[in-house]
Amino acid sequence: MAAGMLDAGRVWQAYSSLGKSTLQVVGSQGVRVQLADNRTLLDGTMGWWAALFGYRHPDIEAAMQQQLETLPHYPFYSELIHEPAVKLADRLVDITPGDMAGVVFSESGSSAIEVGMKMALQYWQLKGLSRKKRFAAPSNSFHGDTFGAMSLCGPDNDMFGRYAGVAEPALFFSPPPEGRDRPFTQDDLASVRALFESRSEEIAALVIEPLLQGLAGLRPYSCEYLAALRQLCAEYDVLFIADEVAVGFAKTGSLFACEQANVEPDILCLGKTLTAGTVSLGATVVSAKVADVTRQEPFIHGATYMANALACTAANACLDLLETGHWKNEVERISTQVKGELEACLDLPGVKHIRNIGLLFGVCGDKSLDIANFRQQAIDQGAVLRGVGNTAMLVVPLGTDPDDISQLTGTMKNLLRSAFV
């Protein structure tokens, strides 16, 4: 086996087949990952959108080390609970948009979506409307890998076709019209309104990623559309679930994407950046409107590592850093530099346009990328980059040095010279 390779023949990697040998990562720091063959790569994925401050931020590591020495974990049962989770719940209720009342912790973003769906069902059952048990979502959605989350992933984003029929699929409507600054008209909601007019009595909730659909290709849409969609849910008595697992925590230029449209969700799902890419944790934040009903009976959700003390400590340390407010200038600095440097991609053959909100950037072509080849070529040129569909993606952590940003955008431009030809 070649130097630096690791025989992973007995483990499935993400979205991969069993029996694949691959490069071995042995360390990470800031925006860099170290390989066993002594190469260093710049990570342009933010660790799958999770490592908001880059890898191994000293303040977060110090807080976690202190927690390890006292209480790494204890099951979060009703008789025995711990301070890191209670503190984190209080903070999330205080900082999330709207009149929020409580938090259910889980193990991941997908689990947070599952909890949100279960909470919506319990709400309607306790209100005597048990027929409301379907969910609505855009047809190009991605919301996670568990069965409830997969049921929200539309036919335009058919990653999970082989599992079709196991869970009842969502009722799908047309995707939001693309464009952050695209003028909104009521015609943009025609598909959703038609669905609600015919079937709202059976729809428990609508689920959407606010402002930007991540695995639809970093596809942005307008604040006006989001606000009008929220109003439509209120009009037809459908709960509004905001999936901010990918877009939450400063990445879009506001602490939460909903804030930019003055939207208050009934249920807000969080993950990924919640712990700044250290330990897996999901959180579902529930509004007072929903909590006042669902608290009438126990909510049936619990897992061994629910509200893990170490993960909650990492999340509290992440919030400490965000509370300084320094991230606002950082988002502006990074966004300005990356947009300016990627503009040259518009002159490359096959490139159609550039997408951007905050720290999230996509270069879109007129045909689909060869994703495996794109990723391998990026590694060969010293970077970790991802693509989906016809979009090459770049996600830049806060604190990234300007020279490192230029290296990442330079690699992106080199790769795209022939990617859409």
Over the stretch 189-218, which tens digit does the pLDDT of each residue have?
Answer: 999 999 999 999 999 999 999 999 999 999
For the chain, which domains are there? 5-56+328-419 (3.90.1150.10), 71-323 (3.40.640.10)
Q: What is the mean pLDDT of residues 324-344?
A: 97
> What gap in Å lies between CA 349 and CA 46, rounded to an integer?
27
Report residue 19 as tokens: 């029996």
Instruction: Kindly report the number of other CB atoms within 10 A of residue 75's CB atom.
Output: 15
pLDDT band at 167 (very low <50, low <70, confident <90, very high): confident
Quote the percentage of the chain above a pLDDT of 90.
90
How much is the pLDDT for 79?
Answer: 85
Q: What is the mean pLDDT of residues 354-372?
A: 96
Q: What is the mean pLDDT of residues 277-286?
A: 97
373-271-303-291 Cα dihedral, nearest 10 degrees: -140
- pLDDT of 407 strictly over 70: yes
- pLDDT of 1 strictly over 70: no
How much is the pLDDT for 6?
Answer: 78
pLDDT band at 98 (very low <50, low <70, confident <90, very high): very high
Report residue 223 as tokens: 């604040």
pLDDT, tens digit (0-9, with 9 covering 90-100), for 238-275? 999 999 999 999 999 999 999 999 999 999 999 999 99
- pLDDT of 321 strictly over 80: yes
pLDDT band at 58 (very low <50, low <70, confident <90, very high): very high
> What gap in Å lies between CA 211 and CA 241, rounded to an integer?
13
How much is the pLDDT for 7?
Answer: 77
Q: What is the mean pLDDT of residues 332-336?
A: 98
- pLDDT of 358 strictly over 70: yes
- pLDDT of 378 strictly over 90: yes
Q: What is the mean pLDDT of residues 153-170?
A: 85
How much is the pLDDT for 163?
Answer: 87
Instruction: Kindly report the number of other CB atoms within 10 A of residue 181's CB atom.
Output: 8
Q: What is the mean pLDDT of residues 139-149?
A: 94
pLDDT, tens digit (0-9, with 9 covering 90-100), for 111-132? 999 999 999 999 999 999 999 9
pLDDT band at 152 (very low <50, low <70, confident <90, very high): very high
Among residues 155, 143, 56, 92, the alpha carbon closest in space to that of 323 is found at 92
